[in-house]
Amino acid sequence: MEQSDDFEILTSKAEILKAIAHPVRLCIVRRLIEQGPCNVNKMQDCLKIPQSTISQHLSKLRDTGIIKGDRQGVEVFYHVVNEDVQKVVNALFH
């Protein structure tokens, strides 16, 4: 493996760590891992922060490939799809 390939991998992993480094995003990811798919309304009831703020955090998690949303009717249910993130969060809390 070339050094440039190695640096790209390190950069990618660092972006993932930065995404989950925020307390709200870490809370969202942890809850999705522990309780399974969830929609924004349920997250808002739990986190007690505005829906627009939660949506911004979800966008960051989605853009970094940590979560994915599946539409069911008018709602979108989010779940964690990145196995590395699942391992990191499980190591932090279990």
Residue extents of the structural domains in the chain: 3-93
Structure tokens at 21: 């480094």
Closest to 57 measured CA to CA, from 29, 88, 38: 29
DSSP class of residue 79 equals: E
CB atoms within 10 A of CB 20: 22
Burial class (CB in 10 A: 0-12, 13-18, 19+), 87: exposed
Asked whether 50 and 36 are in contact (CB, 8 A), the reply is: no
The pLDDT tens digits along the chain (94 residues) read 567 789 999 999 999 999 999 999 999 999 999 999 999 999 988 899 999 999 999 999 999 999 999 999 999 999 999 999 999 999 999 8
- pTM, two decimal places: 0.90
CATH fold of the domain at 3-93:
Arc Repressor Mutant, subunit A (1.10.10)
